Amino acid sequence: MSRLSSFANPSEFENAQAMSDAEKAFIVGDLAHSSEPLLLCDPCRRDIPGHRIGSRPSVLAEDRSACSVCNVLSSKPEAFTEPFCKFLQENPTVFHAVGYFKDKMTSLGYKELPARDDWSGKLEAGGKYFVTRNGTSVIAFTVGKAYKPGNGVAMVAGHIDALTARLKPVSNKPTKHGYIQLGVAPYAGGLNETWWDRDLSIGGRVIVRDDSGKTSSKLVKLDWPIARIPTLAPHFGVGMMGQNNKETEAVPIIGLDNSDILSSDAKPVGPLASPGSFVFSQPPRLVQLISKQLGIKDYSQIINWELELFDLQPATVGGMDKEFIFAGRIDDKLCSWAAFQGLLASEANDDDGVIKLVALFDDEEIGSLLRQGARGNFLPATIERAVEALCGGDKTFGPGVVGQTYARSFLVSADVTHAVNPNFLGRYLEGHAPRLNVGISIAADSNGHMTTDAVSTAIVTRVCELSDCTPQVFQIRNDSRSGGTVGPMLSSAMGVKAIDAGMAQLSMHSIRATCGALDPGLGVKFFKGFLDRWETVDAEWQ
């Protein structure tokens, strides 16, 4: 049970004993699930409640430099490698990622703000809150203890969607020569050549209506590979590097059914519901698997689903000194997870006068045009509703306080960028080629695809100085095509100063990519530094 849900009355939570820094770091660092030995210095051992540690054995650390909790408190990059890899493995879809973030925030005392509710009287200086949209986007923020309406917002925005292959509305397909296949469609650049011959599993959300008529959304994922997109052997003389038809030649196989030739008594699994129902249009054996995972006995209770394929191979460290992370979905779980961790680890000082905020969006890979995407009103609406709820006394909510808030705010648009590839050095602009395990990369573009300018670069460089972070810079060559981020659409909608800056990775848009083993932690260190020091840096400007 989470710390928040253990209180029936919210006022009891307000009066509960404050969480110690050690307990907070224990949760932020996912130390309860670490496979590494739990080393605790004596002060941390005393400050962490026994129910957090549970039955997990711990060893007394000789000094604070060896303490697992102190390493999280001091933002040592190596403390975040294993938690990031586990996050990637355990949360393969955007639905699972948002669920992870919600659970973690709740355990740290953040309060959910349902979008359909009136927020009046529910926010206060010193509070911690979050709101979700569609189950695929989330915004979390803390209000400074010294906050006054009209003060600014230090915000980080990123995306948590990734290239994938989603089940079609009718995913059932005719059996071909004994193979049961699955109808899928590419999301963004999914089903590219890197998806062939991979161990693919399936997960997402299922919409269920129970016996009482209540409808709810349930998360599901299978923990073994059920799908594969097989290549054609080179002996047939057909190239397999990007020239294949995604509709007819990249169709996953999910099982075998040779009942047509093996026995006259053997019959394939027939439809599990009546014609016209959702279940009728899906592969029967897949429906049975999903139902079993969710404990559903009446298949007709499944009224729809949003399922997708994902690479099941675990995220892992690699290299001679384990200096790499090899994983799926690094773009852009890397910056999003690091920014989220940075917010959870951020300081809460008595003189903090700003709102610290992290917004993680869906649909960036397909243009951000949906309501849960960055082009929607999710971020500005959340900020304005929060400011409205915090207004009172001598400050009346209206266009004036909203304009003042945005004028005093700053946005870091956090998306992964391209690490230098040693085999293609000629494709990179000299002096603009970020390396792994070094630090945040400021992304520039002469045509406005990025928000970066001289002012925002100076601000973030100063943040790096104060946070002991090493900034890098990336820009494409004149003969290359630039990608896009959520930065321009958000900064233009709100009129806030902004920069594009993210961690570097290799093999962007491959089903398996590479980043540095220290990069998740270096990201946490930077984003925490930005959230904690933006107010100080802003005050240095005239």
Please give the mean pLDDT across all residues of the chain: 93
Indicate the DSSP class of residue 315. P
Distance between CA 530 and CA 468 in Å, rounded? 11
Q: Residues with Cβ < 8 Å from 381, sequence gap 6 or more?
A: none
Residue 57: what pLDDT? Answer: 86
Predicted confidence (pLDDT) per residue in 131-144, tens digit:
999 999 999 999 99
Distance CA 274, CA 263 (A): 27
CA distances from 257 to 26, 181, 224, 280, 281 (A): 50, 10, 20, 18, 18
Contact (CB, 8 A) for 429 and 175: no
Confidence of residue 10 (pLDDT cuts 50, 70, 90): very low
The bridge status of strand 200-209 relative to strand 215-221 is antiparallel
Give me 126's structure tokens. 């010193």
Q: What is the pLDDT of residue 483?
A: 84
Structure-derived torsion over alpha carbons of residues 506, 509, 510, 512, reported in degrees to the nearest 10: 70
Q: Per the structure block, which two tokens stand in for 490?
A: 């958000």
Instruction: State pTM to two decimals.
Output: 0.94
* pLDDT score, position 12: 40
For residue range 169-207, what is the model confidence (pLDDT) as tens digits?
999 999 999 999 999 999 999 999 999 999 999 999 999
Q: What is the pLDDT of residues 180-189, one digit of tens each?
A: 999 999 999 9
Q: Is residue 272 within a helix (H) or strand (E), and if so which, with residue range?
A: none
Q: Is residue 73 helix, strand or coil? A: helix
218 backbone dihedrals φ, ψ, rounded to 5°: -125, 140
pLDDT recorded at residue 395 = 83
CB 54 within 8 A of CB 28: no
pLDDT digit string, tens, across residues 373-416: 999 999 999 999 999 999 987 788 999 999 999 999 999 999 99
Question: Which residue in this structure is represented by tokens 């053997």?
Answer: 266
Mean pLDDT of the 512-519 span: 98
Do the beta carbons of residue 391 and residue 401 sit within 8 Å? yes
d(CA 126, CA 104): 19
Which residue reads 């917010």 in tokens? 343
CA dist., res. 368 & res. 378, Å (int): 11
Report which of 88, 486, 120, 155 is spatially closest to residue 311, judged by C-alpha positions.
88
Confidence band (pLDDT; 50, 70, 90) for 266? low
pLDDT score recorded for residue 17: 63
pLDDT tens track for 301-349: 999 999 999 999 999 999 999 999 999 999 999 999 999 999 999 999 9
- Contact present, 473 and 441 (Cβ < 8 Å): yes
| Burial classification of residue 355, based on how many CB atoms lie within 10 Å of its CB (0-12 exposed, 13-18 middle, 19 or more buried) | buried
Please check the confidence at residue 11 and state whether its pLDDT lies above 70.
Answer: no
Q: What pLDDT is attached to residue 242?
A: 66
Least confident of 238-242, 282-286, 505-509, 517-521: 238-242
- Report the percentage of the chain scoring pLDDT > 70: 96
Which of 259 and 494 is assigned the larger pLDDT?
494
**Which whole number is the average pLDDT over 118-141?**
97
Looking at residue 131, its amino acid is: V
pLDDT, one tens digit per residue, over 221-264 is: 999 999 999 999 988 888 777 678 999 999 999 999 998 888 76
